[in-house]
Structure 1
Amino acid sequence: MGDVVSETKAEQAERVIAGRYRLVSVIGHGSMGTVWRAYDEFLHRTVAVKEIRLPPGMPQSQADEVRERTLREARAIGVLSHPNVVTLHDIAQENGDPYVVMEHVPGSSLAHLLRSKGPLDTTQAAAVADAVAAALQAAHQAGITHRDVKPANVLIATDGRIKLADFGIARNISENTLTKTGITLGSPAYIAPEVASGGEVTHNADLWSLGATLFATIEGHAPYNPDGDIIATLLEVVNGEVPRPASDSPMAGIVSGLMVKEPAGRMTLAEVRRRMYGLLPEPGTSPFTAEEITGAERFIPAQPARSVEPDPDPQPQPAAEPEGPSLAADPGPLPFTPSPSPVEPVPVRRGVPRTLVYAAAALVFFAAAGGGFAAARYAGGKPLLPAEPTLIEQPVVQPPPSIQAGDLVPRVGDAATLKGAKGGVFTINVPPGWETFVEERQPKNLPASTRVHYLSPDGRYALTVERFPGFFDRHKVSQYKDAVQATWPKDAFVSGDPLAQPFGTGPEPGQYWKYNTVDAGSLRRTTYSNIIPLTVDLWVVSVTVPTVEEDTGKGALFDRIAPSFKVTP
């Protein structure tokens, strides 16, 4: 098998995109695609190339939409030319697919640097603050909101240059529908309160995220727990007290001026830079030594693949999805002709009324699913999907929830990991109209995992397929169950007795497991899970329903969905 893998890598390394970009080695994998270190044979320079990844089974019409959106957003990002912004060089075409060609920045991310050496000194923190603020000034003047400022997206080159990355190209193809609302999955520890509550994403949201990033820079840790329950974190961001730096760093006042809940009350970028004047290093010098940066690079392989704060590689690449003024003008005719969808079109959902009852109901299930976009929307009482523009002000009658989901539809999912672990493709029968999104996780004391979520249109029911590649190399099923229980207070988690099941091919037998949870709002839910060992991987198929509907939920959903799960060879 090792020979096969080596041969595949060798073949991949020989690929040449658009006749000039030779793919040399993989920098990082993610659900959004693969980032390559490449060589531009025309200009004789090293570049970074992002290969957009389309999930298995995506209808051709949706795939064409993703390609078109990539081109449109590249036009928007292409207007940015600033020394503190990772430059987009080109959009190459190969077999009709777009490849994003970017500046290659040898060095480390701020996230890795903080993990390897702890808090930065005042001069280093000031250099980071000034560089990121300057990058955001350029973006905002061009009408672009970054939307995901955090240490993982701040790059520090080996020569001391500081650049902001992750401006806009298709973050996660499976999130194509969800990200159109302007919410980015995966960074609740740095997300602005108005965004966490489902509000509009504006330039002011970047100011909060800059403050949270500077908080981590001087404190050595994020202002909110990046490894905690996502729902709890979002609610704390929205409703809790704003964290204040404990250190007496001169940067503490800037952090407090940026992390203000009222968006209009936040310190301006110009004021941030003005306050940096007396703290910056001497012109022409770098506050970072080569040993610090290269040390952080050596530190990278020992880090988890991903936590709630995504950090897939030492050079994060542009990947957010700008909205409104962030989008460039229509790039003109596509280099391909969009194909009609070969599948039945999915009915358009008009949005859910903003009632407390349904906000609470959705929270019940998203905490079990691991949080993300819809949890953020419902934490603020907002609908899961935006209403159509012509119907924003029109009342929508919420149909009564029907747990009888009708005919199930086979769906293809991909639980590949950030590091590209193979064997993640699966099929499962899902009720029609349920939305899909993907979450990369790094649980404490467990291997990195990938969760594929399916959500009912009204937000009441959730199906989750989670995969832990290589789980049984060092872990046991009991450790997985302990980790699930550890995410809840003792009085908020009640486990049923597991039942051994004759499925799975791993070193332990499969299990059926039921447990009940109560969140901070006293909302109760029930989760049914099949824990499935397959060789060295662990798969978990779970359905979460309101506890008041647990009996019918098991029969109408779990007992019908779970047996259909199959891993594609």
Structure 2
Amino acid sequence: MSTGRLAGRYSLQRPLGAGGMGKVWLARDEMLDRDVAVKELTLPEGMSPKERADSVKRAVREAQATARLRHSGIVALHDVLVEYERPWLVMELLRGRTLADTIREFGPMPPDYAARIGADVLEALSVAHAQGMQHRDVKPGNVFLTESGRVVLTDFGIARQEGQATLTEQGLMIGSPGFIAPERLDGHPGGPASDLWSLGATLYTAVTGTAAYAGSAAQRVRDTMTQPPPVAPGPLGPLINAMMAHHPETRPDPRVVIPALRQVAAGGPLPHVPAGQEMTVPSPVRKRGRAALWIAAAAALVVAVAAGGFFVLRSMDGGVPTAFTVPMDVCTLISQEDVGLLLRTQSPPKGQRGSDDEGPKCSWPISQSGVGLQVQKDSDTVDPWSMTPVSARTLFQGQKRYWTRYDQLDWKWPEIGVKDSMKSKRTPVRELSGVGEEAFALELAGPSGRVHSAYVYYRLANLVVRVEYSTVADRPTDEDIKQSALKAAQASEQALRNAA
């Protein structure tokens, strides 16, 4: 078909791409007024009724598989339907390019950049593995790099759930030659270790610009089965080689690979990565939400905190919580006593709760001055407590990039008496220490050049917190305003740490 409407709400605009599994369309969800990607599963002419039914079953399986996986590194599935006698999958629209296209255009990637991509993909895979699923087609073409900085694993259409009969029992090999693990080529169903092998092959391509095994499809299959994996140059070479070990039981554990990749991504050396034991789906206690984070905690427990009213996963050594997982009242993050000290009043206001697309927030305004706090989320996440450290880092960096784009902007805060927009100039965005695991700060100055607002953004585990202190009173100096915002941020961070 050329263009049309599906389910009375999805208006197909134009094709975005096509492959062996079908065609992807840019579409408009007219009910929710947003752009989406719609995958059309094309069915060849002359298919038997059984073959057609199997294809539809495969699409439904993709929907069932993907819909259960909630992670910033996994493309979100919105809807599935069958029209014009074939299945359609409605997914989030990703803007950017695939890893394959990036390598093709720019050549080999720096090791730190490739390492960050690998860690993000492996965390997404760990979420799928924790639910008993394997991707089975990890390759550069199925790793998407969005304009906002997300690394997204796409095309779970050939994902396989443990215990579910495969649709390829008649000899069809699922995957892409050169990126299929040896044990799967040998007829075994594979598992998480097979996806790890495929990710290793993907990273080899990222850092070298070429595939680990080249030639025809038959030659790639033969070499994968008979030849040792080549060693990539640079700091990632030994790790990639270990990930591509011929026997699954000799490949390293993802819980070791992820921090090793993160260390290289941060500019550090590659730590020693021992060969792992055979990787299996984590035990049920590790299957709870955002499993990639929880698996990474070698020894962890869930602690209920009555005072804070939420749960966190905390490492046994008492360090920073791995993840805050249940919503809490953000107005409790700054005490009334601290609000009074910040606003220099003996009658501090009660927090005013609110929420917008960026997350729940609280403000404490009085005449001419106010403190504000928001626990933020990205557009792909239901609430901040569904974020992961990976998605939180991406959001944090995105906020930093956002502020660097705008030197001038309009500012107002009616609750403190600034009802008309004030032309304001942004001060340089600067890194900040002493709050969170990472932080940055900036100020806004009015037409007179005097600072009226100071902002601090910080990340703690999977939370990104924005803190604002504003005043149009004459007495506080620019430095006073900066310090007030920092003190408010530190108070909120301490409240989180104390609750944990």
- TM superposition score normalised by structure 2: 0.50
Higher relative contact order (CA 8 A, sep 6+): 1
Q: Which one has a larger percent strand, Structure 1 or Structure 2?
A: 2
- TM superposition score normalised by structure 1: 0.44
